[in-house]
Structure 1
Amino acid sequence: MATATRTTYGARDHARAQEGARAEAMPVVPATDWPEPPCEAGYLVWAETVAGGNYTHRVLARGTELRLTDPGGDACAHLLLYVDGRPWERLNAADTVKVQWNAYLRAGGLLLSDQGRVLATLIADTAGRHDALCGTSTLVRNTHRYGDGTPQSASPAGRELLTLAALKNGLEPRDLPPSLSFFQGVEVRDDGTLEFTGSAGPGASVTLRAEQDLTVLIANVPHPLDPRPSYVSTPLEVLAWRAAPTTPGDPLWEATPEGRRAYANTADFLAARGQS
């Protein structure tokens, strides 16, 4: 043990001396201190850089916009969404694909629950390489590929990290459905096999709009089909700011019959709870 931290007073003084220190990957508190925010002054509510092989979580109000950015070109954001206070209503990757007749996530797409309601709208996308089919990595697979997959290892699995994020929000491992992956894509070939299409490249971003109050869980780990033998995962930038939900008349609301129904289901549900 270092001499300076051998006593309680020494440990306290050492800890206090770290005040104001910055690391490459950490939250900015308050979020409004983030340099060059993408919104009006004072509207930023979440600003964080998530290291490769790490995770984050937050509760966001309805209407909040969430932007994920891959600055280095090797981030992969594995995302889960839950209605805050109603964790049994959660992201359903199968319905997100099935209801919209599209296996590929793109701008204008809706992230759906199994209640036929919209959790979030994908309002902007400069990446074009995402995945709604494979889910995230597991302890067994990462142990086989990299030698370890536990959260404290150098190659943590996405499911293990999402489990930690879930526990911090009163959720259990059984509450973890298949996740969506942003910035690392796959394509379905004619024979039904999945081909990994790699990264969208440095600077790619996606922006989601919360259509209900949401608990957001994110793990930043390599895609499970990434063929590279080493564990490659670069930082992920997370920014969120106050905005407004999608409403009737918005082109996104009116884009498809399936979308209109999902938005209408959401509005009807919220109206019964006294929310507009």
Structure 2
Amino acid sequence: MSGRIDELGSVERARADARGRATESEWMPYLPASSAPFAPADVDPADLLWAETVAPGGYTHLRVARGTRIRLGDPSGDACAHVLLFHADAPGERLNVADTQKIPWQAYLGTGHPLLSGDGRVLATIVDDTSGHHDAFCGTTSDAWNIEKYGDAHPEGPSPSGHGLLRLAGSKHGLTARDLPPAVTFFQGVRIDSDGTTRWTGSAGPGTSVDLIAELPLVILIADVPHAVDPREDYVVGPLRVLAWRAHPTGPADAVYSASPERERAYLNTIAYAELAGL
């Protein structure tokens, strides 16, 4: 009997110790989302479905319904969000950076820009952008790149690579390294000069944000790591804020829908697919 009492005492002490430790971190999601201290003024906190601060060198992943609005925020001016999108119900359909540049006849991301899959459908639309410093050319950083520049690329180390973190995020949804296409990057921009040189333009500064509307059910993978062509020698990246709430997908009444014949076709393809699938 004494052994049983000692065992129970050990369990009770372990439980008390666990409950006595801090269960909150500035990097963990706020649950409920309405409790987030950084809820924006233009969103009723009661409408928030997700609120999270991603640590510098960290990652997150979301599965969202069609019509969800996702806001990425850069509170410090050093966030660098490398983003991948997958059709949640058919992840073989995923972000295609070439079509994302080709269909709107615009290589630089900004308000009104559709993010397309290789199937001619719009996965998400940028519906608001106060930064303007983004990149759809370079993709995220690789393990080899980070080892050469920083000396380490382990996800748990001081300088994780973007691809390494996206692999981890994707694994939560049954995705492997072979499933990951090139990413788009928000908050740290590049421009291509007339001679073909890739020129890093950095950040627009603290307090900017980018809003996306999910045009289909999505799995969203995000890694917050330095840009591949950031010239700073140190591993410099700031926190990233992620919010999500219910909204509506793009329709014929929205200006972006008919901004060009190519965009209208892409939105028509998307809406037809969604209606047939009952989404």
Per the normalisation by structure 2, the TM-score is: 0.93
**In the alignment, structure 1 residue 217 sits paired with structure 2 residue 235:** no
Secondary structure of 2:251's partner?
Answer: coil
CA distance in 2, matches of 1:55, 1:36: 19
**In the alignment, structure 1 residue 59 sits paired with structure 2 residue 69:** no
Residue in structure 1 matching 2:14, options 11, 34, 37: 11
Per the normalisation by structure 1, the TM-score is: 0.94
Secondary structure of 2:219's partner?
Answer: strand
**In the alignment, structure 1 residue 105 sits paired with structure 2 residue 109:** yes
Counterpart residue number, 1:29: 31
Counterpart residue number, 1:121: 125
Residue 167 of structure 1 aligns to which amino acid in structure 2?
Answer: S
- Unpaired stretches in structure 1, ≥5 consecutive residues: 1-6
Rate the CA distance shift 1:8–1:223 in 2: closer, same or farther, 3 A: farther
Deviation at 1:42, TM superposition (A): 2.5
Within a 5 Å distance, the mapping from 1:1-276 to structure 2 comes to 9-18=12-21, 21-35=23-37, 37-38=39-40, 39-275=43-279
Deviation at 1:40, TM superposition (A): 3.0
Secondary structure of 1:73's partner?
Answer: coil
Deviations 1:77-105, CA, capped at 9 Å, x for gaps: 00001011210001111110112211100
Secondary structure of 1:90's partner?
Answer: coil
How many matched pairs? 268
Deviation at 1:41, TM superposition (A): 4.4
Deviation at 1:132, TM superposition (A): 0.4
- Unpaired stretches in structure 2, ≥5 consecutive residues: 1-9
Rate the CA distance shift 1:140–1:117 in 2: closer, same or farther, 3 A: same
Larger radius of gyration: 2
Deviation at 1:49, TM superposition (A): 0.2
Secondary structure of 1:96's partner?
Answer: helix
Aligned-CA RMSD value: 1.3
Secondary structure of 2:160's partner?
Answer: coil
Residue 168 of structure 1 aligns to which amino acid in structure 2?
Answer: K
